[in-house]
């Protein structure tokens, strides 16, 4: 049985620019060459190809976590090295469930591996836990007033201040790029009842520690265990979702659940089977080069070859701009990489709107088989959109805007040729 995600996140307004990025588990990377700090930021920042300019839909001011390009300042850089500080905390009324090290291992090295695969190796996530034991808070969990949708003030500010006081003698906060607070899972309700996990990103009003604001911090609470027996393989996935926010990515689920994007992006559904990010997000994060993106802005007919998103290299994304803040993205999805539950491969078409807030549907996947019921019965995978990709001979049409996208054929290597016609 699929449990709908009705989390309410209230990201704090952006401010100070931070320079960060991601990679492997610290204990597993001691023999690896030391990566350099990130030199590239949230991408598509420097337009090196004028032909792509019409497809760089603008970041909308006043919109929380806009899908526009480039990503607004204040978020973590998404290529190169990021050092992630992990603190495992418990409370007098919720003593740590198991050991703190076991809690850390629920998320690593899986989270680091997920980012490595999704980014084609461009993001090197180093997860560190300098305090291997539970960090006991001075007050009961109930005293902080943490609930679903809690704003940053006042409970979270008090909690962060107490975390800093408890950890500061053993942690140099200035050495890290983001913070993961891994709360003992017996603090608060089960994730089957309500999901408390939340991220505050780009917040220049955050408490300071060692001279730096804790401006990009993710909190993870109860275990996302649906009883299907897959928790050991999939339970970590709430953390790459939450960390997606520190890179500026919005929630793609809405108050109605995952019906807008389904399981095609981890920012939509992070329960159950593994899934990847959309190609638009990979371009936005700097994991796709400009040369891997086609811009179908001219009137008339153009054809493009696209290789599967899971495979490194090759053309990956075509974009059809509709306005300065919206357009259609086209990519090829199939099983492979982080995409575990794809039951029908093909060409995925979706609309991106940069003037829509996080959690309000900034991305909408076009369903090639409406009301079909989908092709999967995997737990926590949105069934209706599971067969959304278009196959050979099928077309997506937007008559109001004079757009038609047709899949011409599939090659032996899994690549597809598509035709874009715009009046």
Helices 238-246 and 110-118 pack at an angle, to 10 degrees, of 60
pLDDT of residue 97: 94
Question: How do the domains of the chain map onto residue ranges?
Answer: 26-246, 279-422
- Indicate if the pLDDT at residue 255 is higher than 50: yes
Between residues 272 and 295, which one has the greater pLDDT? 295
pLDDT at 260 over 70: yes
Question: Lowest-confidence range among 11-20, 73-82, 349-358?
Answer: 11-20
**Angle ∠(151,244,292) on CA atoms, nearest 5:** 145
pTM: 0.89
Q: Which residues of 98-137 are buried (b: 16+ CB within 10 A; e: fewer)?
A: eebeebbebbbbbbbbbbbbbbbebbbbbbbbebeebbeb
Q: What average pLDDT does the structure give for the chain?
A: 88
């Amino acid at each position: 049985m699929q449990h709908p995600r009705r989390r309410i996140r209230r990201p704090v307004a952006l401010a100070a620019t931070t320079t960060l990025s991601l990679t492997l588990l610290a204990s597993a990377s001691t023999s690896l060459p030391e990566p350099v700090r990130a030199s590239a930021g949230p991408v598509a920042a420097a337009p090196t190809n004028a032909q792509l300019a019409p497809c760089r839909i603008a970041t909308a001011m006043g919109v929380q976590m806009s899908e526009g390009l480039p990503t607004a300042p204040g978020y973590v850089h998404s290529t190169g090295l990021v050092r992630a500080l992990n603190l495992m905390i418990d409370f007098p009324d919720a003593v740590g469930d198991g050991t703190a090290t076991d809690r850390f291992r629920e998320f690593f090295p899986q989270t680091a591996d997920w980012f490595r695969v999704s980014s084609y190796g461009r993001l090197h996530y180093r997860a560190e836990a300098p305090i291997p034991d539970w960090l006991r808070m001075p007050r009961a969990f109930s005293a902080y007033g943490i609930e679903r949708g809690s704003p940053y003030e006042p409970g979270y500010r008090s909690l962060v201040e107490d975390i800093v006081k408890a950890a500061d003698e053993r942690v140099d906060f200035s050495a890290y790029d983001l913070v993961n607070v891994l709360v003992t899972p017996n603090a608060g309700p089960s994730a089957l009842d309500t999901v408390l996990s939340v991220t505050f990103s780009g917040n220049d009003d955050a408490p300071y520690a060692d001279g730096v604001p804790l401006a990009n911090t993710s909190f993870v609470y109860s275990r996302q265990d649906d009883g299907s027996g897959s928790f050991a393989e999939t339970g970590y996935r709430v953390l790459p979702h939450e960390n997606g926010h520190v890179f500026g990515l919005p929630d793609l689920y809405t108050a109605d659940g995952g019906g807008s994007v389904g399981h095609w992006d981890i920012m939509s559904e992070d329960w159950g089977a593994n899934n990847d990010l959309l190609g638009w997000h990979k371009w936005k994060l700097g994991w796709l080069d400009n040369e891997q993106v086609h811009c179908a802005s001219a009137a008339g007919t153009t054809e493009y070859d696209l290789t599967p998103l899971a495979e490194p290299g090759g053309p990956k994304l075509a974009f059809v701009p509709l306005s300065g803040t919206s357009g259609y993205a086209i990519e090829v999805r199939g099983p492979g990489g982080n995409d575990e539950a794809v039951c029908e491969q093909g060409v995925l078409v979706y609309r991106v709107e940069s003037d829509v807030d996080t959690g309000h549907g900034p991305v909408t996947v076009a369903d090639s088989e409406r009301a079909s019921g989908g092709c999967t019965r995997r737990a926590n995978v949105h069934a209706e959109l599971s067969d959304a990709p278009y196959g050979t001979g099928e077309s997506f049409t937007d008559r109001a805007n004079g757009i038609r996208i047709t899949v011409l054929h599939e090659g032996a290597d899994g690549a597809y040729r598509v035709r874009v016609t715009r009046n």
